[in-house]
Structures are given as structure tokens and as C-alpha cells.
Structure 1
Amino acid sequence: MSTACCATALATQAVFQRFLNRRRNMNTLSTTHNTSRFRWHTLTAQVPMGIALASLLVLVGLPLLFVLLQVIFPELTRGSLANAFSPLLHNLADPELLALTGNSVRLGIAVVIVSALIAVPLGVLRALTRLPGAAWWDVLLLVPFMIPPYIAALAWVMTLQTNGFSQQLLGVAGDGLVFSFSGIVLVMAFNIFPVIYFAVSRTLSAVGGRYAAVAQVCGATPWTAFWRITLPLSLPGLAAGLLLAFALSIEEFGTPATLGPAIGFEVLVTGIHRRFSDWPLDMPGAAVLSLVLVLLALLAFWLQHWLLNRRSYVSLTGKPAPFEKADLGPWRWPVLALFALMVFLAVGVPLLAVLATASTDTLSGGLQWSNLSTRHFTALFANQDGALAALATSLSLATGTALLTGILGALIAYLVVRSSIKGKSWLDFLSLLPNTLPAIVIAVGLILAWNQPFWPVNVYNTSLMLLLAYSCLLLPYPVRYTGASLRQLGDNLEAAARVCGAGFTQSFIRIVLPLIAPSLLVAMLMVFAIASRELVASLMVTPAGAQTVSTFVFGQFEQGSPGVGMAMSLVAILTTTVLLVGLTGVGRRRLPGVG
């Protein structure tokens, strides 16, 4: 029996050993298979990584590189690298450069101060009091973003000039105001102050009034609690809004270009445009001015980032506690009158001026019932001066820009948020760099980059230049919107897809893209709305014989046909408004936390 038991035990041990060996072999094969699958997915992800990086280098890196090269090599446009750095010191020591830089900084600071004087009281009242119709006031104060700055400037000219609308209605002309440094500041402030308003109101809403309420319980007056508690807690957000307004001010072209020539006031952006439009062309000078403008914008954005990350305030409960907003009491009607006045100046005056100019037969006929006419709209839709072609060009370019930036932005955001591939930090940096680059600098860089004889494809003086410019300027919108959406999504579905054998491309198209589609659609609609009325890049790189909506309007005023130009402006504003209303509706229905 013992021999039989030993034999049975040995046989059992042998079978068990073979089972262990087989299991070990299977685990080894499974590990090898999983490792090869991981490597396969990594190699598959390298392809879209390469496509995204190459696209960003063409869209963003190339224009900025050629601006720097033109600063160093003044003969670059002639295909020579001779006389390196020779004009750099000359341009830096040019008194005109110092004057243009000083004007830009002075204008930016003045616009920030005036915008803050308007926006901070409104933002405080919106956040800390029970303002009647608060949501509607927010919507109305978004409208200045829909009115292109150059159209707003032209509308103010039509209103305040001699025999303008204000003189016809009130007997008061404002030539001395609108054509002055103060006029430029006011017009720009009416367009920019909503940036500070929303920063202040949202920051104060997040801070809340509970800390001030505690201070009042301890004996502080409401004003003391506001100045000593609420306002200091809100300073980082307020300062960030002010710096953003400064960056927008020094980059703005339309208002200084419209109002500045009458008083001989020129800033960096108009100086760059003059060097590219007046003969003889001054490429090195334009490149140096562009570099100075980029440095000013980068400084503003760096300070904004530093202030936002310098301090953080964390609620002990993990989320902001609700607080009781103050009742306006007898101040209710004065506060409503203040909001109504600001909305009228920022929204009502420009829109009414655009409508009046487009709806009157002749400007000399004035605001009379007998002078009302639809002939400007008739001329517009009869394709006078290529109006319909300009509209079609803008719409097609805006559509192409929305599609290109949407696809590329979704891919970049996915790689930055989801992947662990080396080099994704460069994708993130390059995709957000256009936020700090003024539009005119991008246009200058594109001209310098593609006006070279060694390129195998002719891009210069074609509509592709506009597509590249718009895409570079507006790419951050899809990247940021899609990135925020991706951070809210788990990765379980993608992991399940990979376990079932799906590759990177298949899981991205069939799993990720449908989930981020609402955010991506919102971003693409915003890109479409902005690209359809962009002015600065359009003036710089539009090919000969072609027009966009913005260049058409600009040209109509230069030719003395403001009625047709304003009719086109009204069409553009209404189109943008309808798109943004649709955008809001999509966001409220499809996006969490919106509305």
C-alpha cells in the first residue's frame, strides 16, 4: 500500500507540476500579449501626436519663428542672412518706437482705469445685492463682445460727428470728444469693461458675503467689512481681469486705426500695419514692433497667471456656502438706472447708429421718415462692390476654421489630458500660446514665413493664408473647452474598448468624440462667430482681389459709402448674435452646469 500511495503521490505531483508549468506559460504569454498590445497602442498614439505637433508648428511656431528671424536677419526677405543684428539696435533706439510703445502702454492703462471705474461698481452690485433681472443684465453686457470694435468706433463717429445723430436729436455735436485721446479711451472702455465686470461679479460671488457677515456680527460696519474683508479676498481675480483688459487694449487695432489718425495718435498695432501697407515696406521695423508688442502681452499674461496662483482660498465645507444678498431698498431704482445707462452706452448707441446709418437713404437727409430707405440692403444683396462674395468668403473661411480647429483642438486636448506620451507639454504650450500673441503679430509672422521662395507650395497671397491666421488665433477655444470636458469624463469606457481590441483611433472616434461633442460644438460655434468678422489679420493677409466682411466694411467707409458698410455690419452682428444664442441653448440643454 505504501508503494502504491507513493506512486499515486508522485503521479499527482507530476500532474500538478505540469499544471503549474502550463499556467506559468499561459501567464507569460498573456503578459507578452498585453505588453505588445500596450506597445501597439503607444505606437498608434505616436501618429496623431506627430500630426498634432506638426500642425502646431506650422500654425503657431512658424509665424513666431520668422518674426524672430526677421528681427535678427534684416535681409531675410531677400533670401540672405547677411548683416545680422545690424538694424536691431537702430530700431530699438528709434524715438518712434519709444513713442509708439509709450502710447500703447498709456492707452492700455487709461482704458483699464476707465473700464474699472465702470465695471467694478456694477460687478459688486451684481454679486452682493439682489439685483432685479440680474441674468438679463448679464446677457445684455455680453453683447459688446458681439460688436466688432471697429464697427463700434465707426458707430460712435456717426453719432458724435458734426451733423451726426446726436446733433440731429439733441442739438449737441461731439467731434472734440470722439476725435481725441479721451474719446479713444471711452470707446475702447465701453467695449472692454464687460471683461472686468464678469471677473469681479464671478469672483465676489465665489467669495460670498459670509465672511463680511461675520465681521458685521463682530461690530464692523457694512463698508468696513467690504473694504477689509470682501475686497481683499477678491483682489487676485480683480487684478487678473484688469491685466486681461490691458492685454486686450494694447492689441486692439480697429478703434485706434479709426479714431487715431484724426489726432495723429498712433500705437504699436497701427505702426506695424503702416510699415506693411505704406511704401517702402519696412519688414525689420515691423518685426521689431511685433516683438515689443508680444513682450508686453506676455508680461500682462504672466502677471495674470502669477496673481491667480499666488493665493487660493479654500472653503472649510468643501464648497461655497450660500449667503444672503443685500436688499437694495431705496437704491433699487438708481442701481437699475446705472445698469441701463451703461447698457445704453455700450450696446444701445452702437447698434442704433448702425441701424440708423443702414436704414437712411442719405446721411445729409438726416433722421426723417421721408429719408428712410432699404436701398443699402438692396445694394448689399445685389452684390454691390462684391458684397455677397465677401459674405460668402467670410462664411466659408469661418466654416473651414471651425472644422480645422475643432478637429485639431479635440485631438490636442485628448493627447494632453489623456495620454502619457513624452512631449505632450509642448502640445499644451503651443496650443495656448496664441492667447498671448496679438493678431497683427501672427499676420506679420505668416507674411514673413510664407513669402519665401523655397516653399514647394505657394501659400502667400491665397485664401489659405487667412485660414492659417484664423486657425492660429482661435485654436485655444476648442482646446480649452474640450480639455475641460475631458477632465470631467472617466476613462473606463476607453479602457473597456482597448480590452476588446479597439485601437487609439477607433476608441477616440467611437467613444471619446461623441462624449465631448457638446463642448466641442460650442467651441466651434464660437470660432465661427469670431472668424466671420475678424479684422486685423484680414486686412494684413487677404489676397489681392478678395474681400471678407470686415475688409468690405472697412473699405466702404474709406470709399465714402457708410450706408452699405453698416448694412453689412448689421448682417454680421445679427449672424453672430443668432449663433451665440444658439450656442447658449445648446450649452443649457447638453452641457452640465451651464445655464
Structure 2
Amino acid sequence: MPANCKVNEEKKLQFAEFRTLLRQPLLAVSIIAVLLLLIVFVCYPMLRIIKLACTNDLNEITFVNIINIFKSRTYLKTCINSIKLAVTVSILSTIIGYIFAFAINRTEVPGRAFFNTIIQLPIISPPFILALAIIFLFGRQGIITNGLLGIKGNNVYGFKSLVFIQVISFFPVAYLTLTGILASIDTSVEDAAMNIGASRWYVFWTVTFPLSMPGVISAVLLTFVQSLEDFSNPAVIGGNYTTLSTEAYRTITGMYDFHSGAALAVVLLAPTITAFLLQRYWLKKKSFVTITGKTTSQTRKIHGKNTIPFFIFCTFISAVFLLLYGTVFVGAFAKTWGIDYTLGITHFIYAWKYAKEALQKSLLLSLIAAPLTGLLGIYIAYLTIRKQFPGKRFMQISSLLTFAIPGTVLGIGYVSAFNTGFIVLTGTPYILLAAFMFRNISVAIESGVSTLLQIDKSIGEASTILGASNATTFRRITLPLLKSPFFTGIVFSFVRSMTAVSTVIFLTSPKWPLATSKVYGLFDISKYSDAAALVVYMIVIILLAIGIIKFLVSWILKPRVHKL
């Protein structure tokens, strides 16, 4: 087709889309509203960061701030530290996550349900809990170093502890990424190889592993981004091992240098955005389809004595989890860790008095942000999959961009964007709600898109033909069918809001303190048992809230028969 004809066809299509929107004013208004929200709360803060990084105090354009980062030995070392940590953690997390996912999905190892449950503990727990456990076990008064081995004054801070904590924290993300693809691989391909005499080991390296490469690449990139953007663990247990996220925080809050802090944020943003785009590009270009719709033989899983190594591996990892979480739980009750292990509730009483208001406000804001995030995410997924409109591509990219933006960068962007100007939100709960929503919206969108692609369009079209409006069709037909991703989006948003650190460390105020900032404050003054008690409070609140949210979502979206 000639270029001119192609351009004309595109213009006709765009004009047809525009006319369709004019006939549905409510839909048009909602699309404009969503686009404005994305521009204000995603694009504008990022542009503000770039502007800060590329200007000086006189508002003159300059690249000195970014150049100085690569000239300064301190900043350059910080950049290298961050990349080194992220690469190490991503590789180790993916290896452990792959073995665990393979054991759960491709073998008949006993206790799979238990292993699958316990591995998700880091996902629903505050980020400080593992750092607390390491201090309790291996610190100066550690029960292992000081109590069992008699090592006095052990230095638990630094690179090795960071790697251990981040691997334990982030390999469940790799596991969840890999478990889906390993479970969906059609085993008839493996069976065919084994039927002609290939060994299990040969089949794994020539068939199973190559087919699971999309999951491996995704897991590596996801854990790389998670490690790079992590603030809480490096801030608490990094010691002299500085990272970009902690250095940006120190530069802004300690030196009051927003321009250099923004430059560090831009440097931090570059590899995370690159990793995110590489992941999207890889999954888009590669095809690893093995599900054809044809009937296949039953999965031939590894069984018998061959499952023993996998059982030992899963048991060891689960034991590490139980040790770490159990230590924090006991530490919250111990009178003085390392000296007097008498159990009591003194730390719980202190933690409640110290952080009662912060816990209440964290819970309130999280409960408000969670359903709003779930609804907005599902609606964006619905618009991008089911509707054609100008600006659709922009909506798709900008709505998922926050997944790749480190929390520290987003927090700096919000401080810069909403401290002055046409929207002033600094010091109010609204800036926290906006940060919670747009930081966590990508999961609701992705899960909604995946589900919508499996729902036949004719279901919604039938409703429209019978006279229902777009709003009614979405509320009474589409939304109930999206109950699972809606619940996923709400729960993920609630948990991430309750446990957020890097995003909100710049946004909290005396009037609106958050529980995580209070935990961080207790770390600063070395009140570790009080911090442990506060973390236990947070875990209990999160678990109770997840149960209540699950019940409410099931009840609200329960299909009902409407009498004529």
C-alpha cells in the first residue's frame, strides 16, 4: 500500500474513533479524566525531576549536576554499588526462584501447598522485618553470633547482609513470575523427547529451560529493578555500602540539595526504565507457544526418590523463612534482646503509644487507596482492551510506567511537583493517596488486561444491543467477570500502601505520619524490639484486612438475579 494511502487510512480511522466518542459523552469524559490523571500524577512529576536535574538555583539549563555524579568518586562508587548489588541479587533470586517454582510445578514433592504459602510471606510483610531478623540473629547481641558462637561486636552491616536480605525478599517475585510459565508448558514436548531415550537432565536443558526463558528474563529484570529501587534495606542495614536510593535521600534531606538529588534520581531512573523496556520488548518479540488447544497427555512430573533433592531444598528455604520471621516475633516479646529473654508485652505497649496515630492513618489511607487503585486499574485495562480512542497508546504506556519508576524517584517527583504551583498537595493526605494509587496501579492493569483478553467481546456487545449503557455494561457484566484481577489489584495496593517506605519517605508530615516511617525512626535510635512489636502490629492488620477485603469483594461482585 502506498505511503499516502496508508496515512489517509489512519486519518479516517482516527476520525471514526473521534465520532464514536462524540456519540458517547460519558465515555469521552471518563477517558479525558483518566488521561488528565496520568498526565498530572505520572508524567508531570517525572518532567519536574528531569527539569530539576538539568537546571541550577537560577533556573538556568545546565547538565553540571548529572556530569558531577560521574566525576565524583563518591557518587560513581554509589552507582557501581547499586548496579553490583542489583545484578547479584537478580541472578541469585532468579536461580532460587526457578528451582523453587520447578519443584512446586514440575515435581510431586510433598508439602507443595505449604511451601507455596510460606514463600509469599515477604510479599505481605513490611520491608524492615528481614533486616530486624538479621540484627537479632547476627548483630552485636545476636543470638547466633554472640549467644552461640561467642563473637563480640559482630558487624552485620554491609554488602553481604544486603544481598542475603534482598534475595530472600525478592526471590518470591521471581518464583511467582516463573511458576506460571512452568505450569503452562505443554509436557507432551518433554514426553516426546523422553520417549526416544533422552534423559531427564538432557530434556530439561534442551526443552524445558529454553521454553521457560521468557519467565527467566522477566524474573531477572523484575528483581533487578526491585533491588535497584529498594530504599529500606540499604538504609537500615547497608552501613557504609551506599546505594543510589539512599544517597538521593541523604542529598535531599541532609544537604538540602534538590538539584543533585534529582540528578541522582535521573541516574537511578535510567537503568530501571531500560530494564522495564527490555522486558516488554523481549516478551513482545519472542514466541514460546506450546499450548495449542489440542488434548494432551497427563503431565509427567518427577516423582519418587527423584523428588528428595527438591524436598530438601524447599524445606531448607522454608526453614530460613520460619527462622527469620519467628526471630522477629520472639524479639517483639523479649524484654532485652541478647541480655534478658523474659517474655512480656512491654514493647507492644510502647509501640502502640508511639505509633497509634501512624497505624490508624496508614490503615485509613491504605483502605481508601486500595479500592480506588483497583477500580482505576481495571477501568484503564477495560479502556485499552475494549475501546478505540485517540490517546490510547499514551494511556497504555504512562499507566504502566510507574512500575518501572523507583519509589524514591516518584517521591522526589511528587515533592517537586506538588510543593508549589497550580496543585499544592505537600503536607496533605492527598499527596499520599496519589502516591499510593499511581505507584501500585500497574498490577491491577496487568491482571485486568490478562483477564479481559480471555473474555469474549460478544458478552458485552449483547448487553449493549439489549439497550444497556456502557456504564451499566461495565458495572453489571464486565466488572463481576473481573473479580479475580480486581481483588488482586486491591490487595496488592493495600499491602504496598501499608508497607511503602521509599515512595513516602519524602511525603510524610507531622500531621500525617505513617507506620513505616515510625519503624524507620525506631531503627534510627536502635530500639529494635520496639520496632519488631510495631512490625507485628502491621502484619496482623494486613492479614485481617486482606481477609475482610476478600469477603467484601466477593459479596459486592457476587452475581445477582434481577427480577423483571
- Retained in 2: the 8 A contact 1:478–1:520? yes
- Retained in 2: the 8 A contact 1:130–1:325? no
Letter in 2 for 1:146: I
Match in the other structure for 2:80: 102
Report 1:418-429 matches (<5 A). 418-429=386-397
d(CA) in 1 for partners of 2:295 and 2:122?
A: 30
- Retained in 1: the 8 A contact 2:138–2:144? yes
Find the residue that maps to 1:361 and give its secondary structure: strand
- Retained in 1: the 8 A contact 2:21–2:28? no
Alpha-carbon spacing, 1:414–1:310, altered in 2? closer, same or farther (3 Å): closer
Letter in 2 for 1:296: P
Shift of 1:40: 5.1
| Rg larger in structure | 1
Seq. identity, %: 25
Pick from 519, 530, 552: which aligns with 2:485?
519
| Structure 1: runs of 5+ lacking an equivalent | 1-34
Find the residue that maps to 2:310 and give its secondary structure: helix
Letter in 2 for 1:290: A
Alpha-carbon spacing, 1:174–1:535, altered in 2? closer, same or farther (3 Å): farther
- Retained in 2: the 8 A contact 1:161–1:174? no
Shift of 1:566: 1.2
Given the alignment of the two structures, is residue 268 of structure 1 paired with residue 221 of structure 2, yes or no? no
Match in the other structure for 2:528: 562
Find the residue that maps to 1:475 and give its secondary structure: helix
Shift of 1:554: 1.1
Using structure 1 for the length normalisation, give the TM-score.
0.83
Given the alignment of the two structures, is residue 151 of structure 1 paired with residue 129 of structure 2, yes or no? yes
Find the residue that maps to 2:336 and give its secondary structure: coil
Letter in 1 for 2:243: V
Shift of 1:427: 1.2
d(CA) in 1 for partners of 2:404 and 2:291?
A: 35
Given the alignment of the two structures, is residue 256 of structure 1 paired with residue 231 of structure 2, yes or no? no
Alpha-carbon spacing, 1:545–1:440, altered in 2? closer, same or farther (3 Å): same
Shift of 1:161: 1.0
d(CA) in 1 for partners of 2:385 and 2:474?
A: 13
Match in the other structure for 2:13: none
d(CA) in 2 for partners of 1:69 and 1:36?
A: 34
Pick from 71, 91, 96: which aligns with 2:53?
71
d(CA) in 2 for partners of 1:87 and 1:37?
A: 48
Match in the other structure for 1:11: none
Alpha-carbon spacing, 1:519–1:226, altered in 2? closer, same or farther (3 Å): closer
d(CA) in 2 for partners of 1:124 and 1:172?
A: 39
Given the alignment of the two structures, is residue 299 of structure 1 paired with residue 274 of structure 2, yes or no? yes
Pick from 464, 471, 474: which aligns with 2:430?
464
Shift of 1:444: 0.6
- Retained in 1: the 8 A contact 2:18–2:390? no
d(CA) in 1 for partners of 2:289 and 2:464?
A: 38
- Retained in 2: the 8 A contact 1:240–1:304? yes
Shift of 1:70: 0.9
Shift of 1:552: 1.0
Letter in 2 for 1:113: I
Pick from 520, 528, 533: which aligns with 2:499?
533
Match in the other structure for 1:28: none
d(CA) in 2 for partners of 1:311 and 1:591?
A: 38
Alpha-carbon spacing, 1:300–1:176, altered in 2? closer, same or farther (3 Å): farther
Using structure 2 for the length normalisation, give the TM-score.
0.88
- Retained in 2: the 8 A contact 1:529–1:579? no
Given the alignment of the two structures, is residue 242 of structure 1 paired with residue 220 of structure 2, yes or no? yes
Report 1:137-536 matches (<5 A). 137-167=115-145, 170-171=148-149, 173=151, 178-261=156-239, 264-279=240-255, 281-315=256-290, 317-318=292-293, 321-345=296-320, 347-367=321-341, 371-381=342-352, 384-385=353-354, 387-452=355-420, 454-455=421-422, 457-492=423-458, 494-495=460-461, 498-499=464-465, 502-517=468-483, 519-536=485-502
Given the alignment of the two structures, is residue 55 of structure 1 paired with residue 37 of structure 2, yes or no? yes
Aligned CA-pair RMSD: 3.0
Find the residue that maps to 1:461 and give its secondary structure: coil
Match in the other structure for 1:22: none
- Retained in 1: the 8 A contact 2:491–2:546? yes
d(CA) in 1 for partners of 2:253 and 2:182?
A: 46
d(CA) in 2 for partners of 1:202 and 1:500?
A: 38
- Retained in 1: the 8 A contact 2:272–2:404? yes
> What per-residue deviation string (whole Å, max 9, x for no partner) do you get for residues 508-550 of structure 1?
4455444435532332122112201211122211013542110
Q: Which moved more, 1:534-543 or 1:490-499?
A: 490-499
d(CA) in 1 for partners of 2:384 and 2:225?
A: 26
Match in the other structure for 2:5: none
Alpha-carbon spacing, 1:102–1:377, altered in 2? closer, same or farther (3 Å): same
- Retained in 2: the 8 A contact 1:160–1:173? no
Shift of 1:94: 2.8
Letter in 2 for 1:560: S
Alpha-carbon spacing, 1:318–1:175, altered in 2? closer, same or farther (3 Å): farther
Shift of 1:269: 0.6
d(CA) in 2 for partners of 1:206 and 1:100?
A: 41
Letter in 1 for 2:24: T
Alpha-carbon spacing, 1:394–1:518, altered in 2? closer, same or farther (3 Å): same
Match in the other structure for 1:30: none
Letter in 2 for 1:180: G
- Retained in 1: the 8 A contact 2:141–2:153? no
Alpha-carbon spacing, 1:460–1:312, altered in 2? closer, same or farther (3 Å): same
